[in-house]
A and B are shown apart, each in its own frame.
Chain A
Amino acid sequence: MNSKLRQHVLTPYAFLGPSVVILGVFFLAAMVQVLYYSFTRYTAFDPPEWVGLDNYRRLLASDRFWICLLNTGAYLLVTPVLMALSLGAAMVIESGLKWAKGLRLVLFLPVVTPTIVAAVAWTAMLRQDDGLINAALRGIGLEGVGWLTERPWTLVSAMLVTLWKGFGFYMMIFLAGLMSVPKELKEAASLDGAGRLGVFRHVVLPALWPVLTLVFIVSSISALKVFEELYVTVKGTPIEHQTVVPLIYTTAFEKGEYGMASAIGITLFVIILAFSLVNLRLSQKREDA
């Protein structure tokens, strides 16, 4: 292409400059800094002072950390439900009902809703004494539960918010996947005598496999990073009802222990990284097979 010859040597860097500076300063450099801080005693009152693995040692000995980590692990339970719900919604829309486009729009509304508003709407329904959900439970003769105050219901409540706010987003990804399955393939399978279930199992599902893997990884990572749903939904509960990111927030910005918060951050980063790598490897193996 002769067009390339006519461009100034510095032109590409001028185009890239602002973005690279911003991402470099605020993300890349910050990652190096957080790693360094994690090896220091660093508080709101004292500058960083090298202490080696001290923060990590204290972390491993801290019950609060382990409980939050366990809660983060439990929060991953939201992923399969989220996937089933969003894939189901995508299939209902793709089946070509009347109003499918309108339904798609309506199901995307929770995605647009600010997380804090979503959390407030759910807390309104989950209140122990005058919430809609406990009223319904009592209506069918069950006891109401302390959705916003008792473990494990506090986690379940936050997960409901994540589920509600998130399924419309993954639904769109699944829709894109479903729409790219060739019609001829489905028709051929159908002509060969496959029923609806057979077509789904032998044509649609294999074609959807990469999308399923991707949604699994993306939604799991965002479950590991959950903050706002918990921060708002179970406001005021002790840290034992929270996950790792709220712990980072409390440690750093309420207690002013920056070094410790950084060590928790690095631990979370390693977990997320390991999780993504293992899943990618597994999905590649499955594709090769």
Chain B
Amino acid sequence: MTPRPLWLSGWLYAWAVLLAVLAVGPAVWLVMIALQPAGTDLLSLDGWKKGLTLANFKGAWEQGQLAGPLLNSVLVTGSRAFLNVFLAALAAYPLARMQFRGRGLILVVILATMMIPEQVIVVPMFQTIVSMGLVDSLVAVVIPFSVSAFGIFMCRQAFMAIPPSLEEAARIDGANSWQVWWNVMVPLSAPTLATLALFSVIGAWSELLWPLVVLQSQEQYTLPVAVNQLLGDFATNVRLAYAGSVLALIPIIVLFLMSQRFLKPEMFGGAVKG
């Protein structure tokens, strides 16, 4: 194509800057409010002159008792990500490579669960957790979302792209199904599994509805539930609640920046076709 005219380049850069400001602006503004001393008008930036303070963060951490929720969120997010990858990769193997009775039915059943929104079935889901005696436990937050149809199809797609000859070579060397799965399928689809883990982490760290339903005591709260509580408790000292929100944001942003190489558009294309 002909080289891009100057006006078009300018236009593109202007949009790029605008989008970037839109993407980070709200969070930056939130941090700025949280960094200023209590009481002052939210719009005034006096703090910049008088000196910024971490007092709101300290207050949110101590008065909001965020250490427990932070640990709970790490546990819930970690186990959900691990289980999502592990269980989905297990389930995807026979669906990608084996012939067996009921294969079609199982595929349909898994696909059907994709059409059922969590929001619609939240009542019976809660009842099931009650009847299992798991109410108000972190296990209850993890179990229903420890595997997803989306994850299974994503892994199946990746497995189907692995040349069958590699699997056959391993079989000839005497490997059984489990060994093939662990030594061939899993390592060769590592980038997909890592992306799935990243998706699960982002989703689990953010989730509010389900933990709000099943968790009751403060000791079991995950960070979003604790922040929600903070918003009510500090309605008159919002800087504290805002600082608490920023504290919930920092770990996930750090983790994301460390693992961003798994964020490739191709993975979204694959997920879409899955």
B208 & A116 in contact (Cβ 8 Å cutoff): yes
CB–CB B42/A175 < 8 A: no
A231 within 8 A of B: yes
Main secondary structure of the interface of A (DSSP, over half): helix
Pairs across A and B, CB under 8 Å, 17 listed: A4-B99, A19-B91, A24-B109, A97-B12, A112-B252, A116-B245, A120-B245, A121-B30, A124-B42, A175-B268, A176-B265, A196-B1, A196-B8, A221-B117, A227-B119, A265-B119, A266-B120
B6 to chain A, nearest CB (A): 14
B124 within 8 A of A: yes
Nearest 5 pairs of A and B residues by beta carbon: A176-B269, A12-B94, A33-B124, A175-B265, A114-B206
B41 at the interface (CB under 8 A from A): yes
CA distance A211 to B269 in the complex (A): 9
Q: Which of B19, B123, B231 has the most CB of A within 10 A?
A: B123
Q: Is the CB of B100 within 8 A of A265?
A: no
CB-nearest residue of chain A to B170: A3
Chain B residues with CB under 8 A of A261: 123
Does the CB pair A23–B209 fall under 8 Å? Answer: no
Q: Beta-carbon contacts of B261-274 to A below 8 Å, as 1s and 0s?
A: 00101101110100
Contact A228 B23 (CB under 8 A): no
Point out the residues of chain A lying under 8 angstroms from B146, CB to CB.
22
In the assembled complex, B48 has its CB within 8 A of some CB on chain A: no
Q: In the complex, what residues of B have CB within 8 A of residue A209's CB? A: none
Cβ–Cβ contact B1 & A187, under 8 A: yes
Say yes or no for B141: interface residue by CB 8 A criterion.
no
A107–B265 alpha-carbon span in the complex (Å): 13
A12 touches B100 (CB 8 A): yes
Inter-chain contact A19/B152, CB cutoff 8 Å? yes
B164 touches A1 (CB 8 A): yes
A279 to B252, CA, bound (A): 35
> Which of B30, B93, B260 interacts with A15 by CB under 8 Å?
B93
CB-CB contacts of A97-120 with B at 8 A, as 1s and 0s?
101000111111111111111101
Interchain nearest-CB distance for A13 vs B (Å): 7
How many residue pairs at the A-B interface have CB separations less than 8 Å? 281
Chain A residues with a Cβ under 8 A of chain B = 1-4, 6-9, 11-13, 15-16, 18-20, 22-31, 33-34, 37, 88-89, 92, 95, 97, 99, 103-118, 120-122, 124-125, 127, 130-132, 135, 164, 168-169, 172-173, 175-177, 179-180, 186-187, 190, 196, 199, 211, 214, 221, 225, 227-228, 231-232, 235, 245, 248-249, 252-253, 258, 261-262, 265-266, 268-269, 272-273, 276
Interface string of B1-21 (1 = CB under 8 A from A): 110100010001101100110
- Assess A107 versus B208: contact at CB under 8 Å? Given A1-B168, A18-B90: no
Contacts of B4 in A (CB 8 A): 95
B162-178 to A contact mask, C-beta < 8 Å, 1/0: 00100110010000110
Pick from A4, A8, A26, A199: contact of B143, CB under 8 Å: A26
Known contacts A19-B110, A121-B245, A177-B269; is A130 also within 8 Å of B122 by CB? no
How far apart sit A187 and B42, CA to CA, in the bound complex (Å)?
Answer: 53
Chain B at the A interface: mostly helix, strand, loop or mixed?
helix
The verdict on A33 contacting B43 (CB below 8 Å), with A125-B29, A180-B269 known, is: no
Contact B171 A6 (CB under 8 A): yes
B202 interface residue (CB < 8 Å to A): yes
CB-CB contacts of B226-255 with A at 8 A, as 1s and 0s?
011001100000100110011011001100
A268 engages B268 (CB within 8 Å): no
Q: Which residues of B contact A120 (CB under 8 A)?
A: 30, 227, 231, 241-242, 245
| Chain B 72-109 interface residues, beta-carbon cutoff 8 Å to A | 87-88, 90-91, 93-95, 98-100, 103, 106, 109
Please state if B268 and A173 are interface contacts (CB–CB under 8 Å). yes
* Interface residue from B115, B124, B202 paired with A37 (Cβ < 8 Å): B124
The answer to whether B98 touches A4 (Cβ under 8 A) is yes
Question: Which chain B residue lies CB-closest to A215?
Answer: B272
Hey, which chain A residues are within 8 Å of B109, CB to CB?
20, 23-24, 28
- A89 (CB) vs chain B CBs: closest residue: B19
Instruction: Write the chain B residue with the least CB distance to A108.
Output: B263
Q: Contact check: which of B12, B41, B248, B260 meets A114 at CB < 8 Å? A: B248
Q: Does B181 contact A (CB under 8 A)?
A: yes
Taking A20-B110, A273-B115 as known contacts, 6 extra A-B pairs with beta carbons closer than 8 A to each other, sorted by chain A number, are: A12-B98, A22-B144, A23-B147, A113-B252, A124-B238, A269-B120
Instruction: Say whether B249 contacts A117, CB under 8 Å.
Output: yes
